[in-house]
Each structure stands twice: as C-alpha cells, then as structure tokens.
Amino acid sequence: MRDIGIDVIEPKGEWDGDSNCPFYGSLRVRGQIIEGTVSRVGMLQTIVVERQHTRHMKKVERIEKRTRRYSAHLPSCIGDINVGDPVRIMECRPISKTVTFCVIERGESE
C-alpha cells in the first residue's frame, strides 16, 4: 500500500487490480476533501455522496437548506458501503464524465 499524502485509516478490503485506486493503483488524489453521507450505491464502482449545508438569505432573513451531490469512485479495497454511511472523498482527475472524486475513508456509523 502506498502513502496518499493524508492521514486516513488503512483500507481492510482486498485489491482486485483496479488501477483507479489511490492506495494500490496509480490514481493520484489532490484538492478538496469532502465529508458526506452515501445516498446511492447502484452503479458499478461508483457511489453518490450527499452533503447538506445551510445558507442565510439576507433579504427575507431566513435560513435555507442546500444539498450538493457528488459522484465518487469506490475502490474495491474500501469494502462494502451502504446507503447512509458517512464517508470522506477527495478530488482526483476525471475518471468519467461526472466522477471526479474518490472515496478515501469510510466514517464511523452512528
């Protein structure tokens, strides 16, 4: 396993030879680190991560909720991830048309 440049818990799963893995393959990660929850897991080696934040509307003096969804590559070494699990994703090169993030760590379930 190679060092990806940030402190994360080592993945416990097996590597299946996927070159788009930041730990065992050749995928380089850089840029933003985002924490969110998994909202969809239906695609092959790809998940959708959702992050919610609030925004203050000055004109009407209200707070609105905003949701942002990110498509992220799921390496096989991370293991099984279910809907609702907290994860950390990090920016990488574009893997497909919409996937520019990769899962680097699975968070603790609450």
CA atoms within 13 A of residue 60's CA, in its CB half-sphere? 5
Mean pLDDT along residues 57-65: 94
pTM: 0.87
- CATH code: domain 29-106 is 2.40.50.1000
Whether the per-residue pLDDT at 1 is higher than 60: the answer is: yes
Q: How far is CA 81 from the centre of its chain?
A: 11
